[in-house]
Structure 1
Amino acid sequence: MNLNATMLGQALSFVIFVWLCMKYVWPPLTALLDERQRVIAEGLSHTEYAAKELQMAKANGAKLIEDAKQQVSSLVEQGNKRRSQIIEDAKLEAEQEKARIIAAGKTELESERNRIREELRHEMTALVIESAEKLIDRQLDTDANRALVNKIITDL
């Protein structure tokens, strides 16, 4: 193998080119690659963090939904209890009102009955007095008295 000046010049030029590339071109390229690798690693860590946050948010959301369902169930139960209480109170009040109305009706009926008895007593008294007057005026015989009493009874 012959080493000639051309080959030596090419080798020297190649060494200078490699040295210049390593001095000026290689560091920015490795810096760019390192920066890109760092950005990708950060993106992956952010993705993992976001996935964990999403998982936690889903768990919190499920817990909030469960709590809301329990609160709604509790409110519905309280509403049903209140409704039952209101119905019971209304029934009790209606029973009391019914008892009061019946008592008032009985009292009114009794007073009306007493008033009618009193009127009948007065009428009977008047009728007895009237029939006694007629009997005294016609004190003729018992058959006449019996006929007069029968006539008075039929008039009543």
Structure 2
Amino acid sequence: MNLNLSMWYQAGVFFILALVTAKFIWPPVIGAIDERMKKIADGLAAADRGRAEMQAAEKRVQAELAGARDEGQKRIVDAEKRAQLIIEEAKNTASAEAARILAAAKAEADNQVTKAREELRDQVATLAVKGAEQILKREVNASAHADLLNQLKIEL
């Protein structure tokens, strides 16, 4: 066997094997590798987008929470103001009602005092007439002496 001829055969077989490998084996392997690289790149990009979206969502949530806190504080302040207004209104209403009741009671008391004075005047006039009867030992006619009795009431 000739060493040169054997090397040429081996070189030919190697060249044919390289062509077959380049034509039939490498394209699916390279395609699978490219596909895998694309999937990995897409996954990393999706992870980056997800992270960015998560950060944006977190910022929106923080803004919403801050807005909700502010709104809650405003509502609490408004409720406190309204409670104070209701309390003040109730106090004013109670004061007005107390003043009205006091004025009505005072008017009623004044009416009763006036009525009692009138009754006392009538009683004193009657007693005066009875006293005069006793002194004079005769009956005094109330209708005949009405002017005298009215004058006596006025003086008392």
Task: Work out whether the TM-score is over 0.5.
Answer: yes
Offset, 1:108:
0.5
Relative contact order higher in (CA < 8 Å, ≥ 6 apart): 2
Looking at structure 2, the residues matched to 11 and 102 of structure 1 have their Cα atoms a distance apart, in angstroms, of: 129
Looking at structure 1, the residues matched to 3 and 21 of structure 2 have their Cα atoms a distance apart, in angstroms, of: 26
Q: Across the two proteins, how many residue pairs are aligned to each other? A: 137
Structure 2 residue 135 is the aligned partner of structure 1 residue 135: yes
2:103 is aligned to 103
Offset, 1:11:
3.0
Offset, 1:9:
3.0
- Structure 1 residue runs without a partner (length 5+): 139-156
Deviates further, 4-13 or 73-82: 4-13
2:154 is aligned to none
1:153 is aligned to none
Looking at structure 1, the residues matched to 26 and 92 of structure 2 have their Cα atoms a distance apart, in angstroms, of: 97
Deviations 1:85-116 (A, max 9, x none): 00000100111100110110011100111111
Looking at structure 2, the residues matched to 16 and 53 of structure 1 have their Cα atoms a distance apart, in angstroms, of: 53
1:88 is aligned to 88
Offset, 1:6:
4.3
1:34 is aligned to 34
Structure 2 residue 95 is the aligned partner of structure 1 residue 115: no
Q: Secondary structure at the match of 2:3?
A: coil
1:24 is aligned to 24
Sequence identity, in percent? 35
Looking at structure 2, the residues matched to 3 and 131 of structure 1 have their Cα atoms a distance apart, in angstroms, of: 180
Q: Partner letter of residue 65 of structure 1?
A: L
Q: Partner letter of residue 127 of structure 2?
A: L
2:46 is aligned to 46
Offset, 1:28:
1.4
Looking at structure 1, the residues matched to 51 and 104 of structure 2 have their Cα atoms a distance apart, in angstroms, of: 78
2:9 is aligned to 9
Deviates further, 10-19 or 84-93: 10-19
Structure 2 residue 84 is the aligned partner of structure 1 residue 69: no
* Pairwise CA RMSD: 1.5
Q: Partner letter of residue 51 of structure 1?
A: R
Q: Partner letter of residue 123 of structure 2?
A: E
Deviates further, 83-92 or 27-36: 27-36
Looking at structure 1, the residues matched to 48 and 107 of structure 2 have their Cα atoms a distance apart, in angstroms, of: 87
Offset, 1:14:
2.0
Deviations 1:14-34 (A, max 9, x none): 221111001111111111111
